[in-house]
């Protein structure tokens, strides 16, 4: 399977979209490689913490 991107505007929608992807993968006898899975959060809000 090629790389996939899931974009959601609300955090609570993410699990629903991931579950949908997993169900589609099962139908096609495929798996998601959890070791290669990444989550990135983008926000307009100012971050309170800096990681140095």
Q: Which residues, in sequence order, are CB contacts of 30 under 8 Å at separation 6+?
A: 1
pLDDT of residue 28: 94
How confident is the model over 3-39, as pLDDT tens digits?
888 888 888 898 999 899 999 999 999 988 888 888 8
User: pLDDT higher for 21 or 42?
Assistant: 21
Q: From the CB of residue 5, how many other CB atoms can be counted at a distance below 10 Å?
A: 5
Q: Where are the domains of the chain?
A: 1-51
- Say how far apart CA 23 and CA 5 lie, in whole Å: 16
User: pLDDT higher for 49 or 15?
Assistant: 15
Stated pTM of the model: 0.64
């Amino acid at each position: 399977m090629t790389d996939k991107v899931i974009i959601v505007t609300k955090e609570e929608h993410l699990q629903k979209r991931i579950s949908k992807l997993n169900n589609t993968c099962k139908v096609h006898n495929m798996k998601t490689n959890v070791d290669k899975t990444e989550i990135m959060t983008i926000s307009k809000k100012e971050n309170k913490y800096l990681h140095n």
